[in-house]
Amino acid sequence: MEAYTLDWVQLVIRWVHLITGIAWIGASFYFVFLDLSLLPPKRKEDADEGVGGELWAIHGGGFYHAQKYRVAPPALPAPLHWFKWEAYWTWMSGAALFILMYYAHADLYMIDKAVADIAPWQAIAISVALLVIGWVFYDQLCQRAGLDHEPVIAVVMVAFLAATGWALAQVFSGRAMYLQIGAMIGTIMAWNVYFVIMPSQRKLVEAKRNGVAPDSVYGLRGKQRSVHNNYFTLPVLFIMISNHYPFTFGHEHAWLVLLAIGLLAAYVRHFFNLRHTGRTVWAIPVSAAIGALVLAVAIAPAKPKAGTYTFADVQEIVAQRCAACHAAKPTQAGFNEAPKGVLLETAAQIVASAAQINEQSVLTKAMPLGNLTHMTDAERATLGAWIAAGAKAD
């Protein structure tokens, strides 16, 4: 019953994370679209009252007229809608999942002893420290670079995340390295809202309530961090689904693969942001698609080499190295059921799962998780030879 209860807890938290994440990203996409699509107000009265831009839209069977003030309206409106809880709940639910799945089973999901033989508490300490370090580095960079050096901030952050990914690849499993980078970016995004965007907006509201002219710098700071969050979204979304694709995190240079995909994702986001301003640069999606194709070819795993084996050898390897998890009743701690429902207890099941074995254990070495069962390179080669010869139970 404990395992069943834990599964439900994970389901609910993951569901909350997904729902609130959709709401947060949707708001980010919409408001950046709105900000970049604004046109000068047509009515002189609006411009005189401080309206800096307006937009007309039709949706859901009606017309909408949105206006943005250069700083603030003459009088504080009520009700005034705020957008913050989407970000907070996305981060809190993500943190809960990270603790429940990765920290609680650090030996299984974070550590690969073939990479670095560290203790679970060390892996957790590194992870927590990097969440804080990532935010401090980014926040100080933005403060010191100011509002007029966005290219500098972009280049330095790319270099920082690349260096962090490389360093983590020397300590964590590839899968954990990806999730850690994702957690760092997600933390930066959420803390942007909490520490910068919301305080800036409160300053604007406070000034209006006190009857003084708001300082426009607060709005500019909030907008800067909001735009940064907008560019972070697609790389983070990739990381959220990356655990389903071991050819990425299981690659020999997984940190470079992550860097390339992250840059391509942000590049595509830039296409849409430019499009909102009225500039459609088709060279961006075309070159991004070419870049993705080049990456796919570059990281394509080599085909297994033929060799001497018997199916009895294959079955023994699978029984010793894989079946602890991939069984009707797993014996490996941390597993209540076979991952993705894949069973590897009989000859028929092994043959039917040859493609998964090839991808997960032979080509990418992503499985066994953290190589807890100590599958050797020779054993992987045996599995590869069997697959190369047609994966038959003879």
Are 347 and 311 in contact, with CB atoms under 8 Å apart? yes
What pLDDT score does 338 carry?
Answer: 85
pLDDT of residue 293: 98
Shared-domain flag, residues 204 and 264: yes
Q: What is the DSSP string of 173-206?
A: -HHHHHHHHHHHHHHHHHHHIIIIIHHHHHHHHH
pLDDT at 1 exceeding the cut of 70? no
Does residue 336 surpass a pLDDT of 90? no
**pLDDT: which is higher, 117 or 370:** 117
Whether 65 and 48 have beta carbons less than 8 Å apart is answered as: no
Domain containing 336 equals 311-388
Task: Tell me: do 252 and 366 sit in the same domain.
Answer: no
pLDDT at 299: 94
Q: Is residue 303 a part of any domain in this protein?
A: no
Distances, alpha carbon 213 to alpha carbons 41, 47, 68, 217, 316, in Å: 21, 17, 16, 12, 76
The total domain count for the chain is 3
Query: Is position 305 within any domain?
Result: no
Shared domain check, 337 and 290:
no
Rounded-to-integer distance, Cα 336 and Cα 98, Å: 18
Instruction: Give me the mean pLDDT over the 144-156 stretch.
Output: 96
Decide if 13 contacts 90 (C-beta within 8 A). Answer: no
Average pLDDT, the chain: 93
Specify which residues 62 forms β-bridges with: 59
**C-beta separation of 383 from 329 below 8 A:** no
Q: Which two tokens stand for residue 261?
A: 């995909």
Rounded CA-CA distance 62/45 in Å is 24
Neighbouring CB atoms inside 10 A of 40's CB total 10
pLDDT band for 54, please (50, 70, 90 cuts).
very high
Q: Is residue 363 part of a domain?
A: yes
Average the pLDDT over 146-150 and give the result: 95
Q: Are 270 and 332 within one domain?
A: no
Residue 394 lies in a domain: no
Instruction: Give φ, ψ of 58 to 5 degrees.
Output: -125, 130
Pair 91, 222 in one domain: yes
How many Å is the Cα radius of gyration of the chain? Answer: 25
Whether the predicted pLDDT of 113 surpasses 70: yes
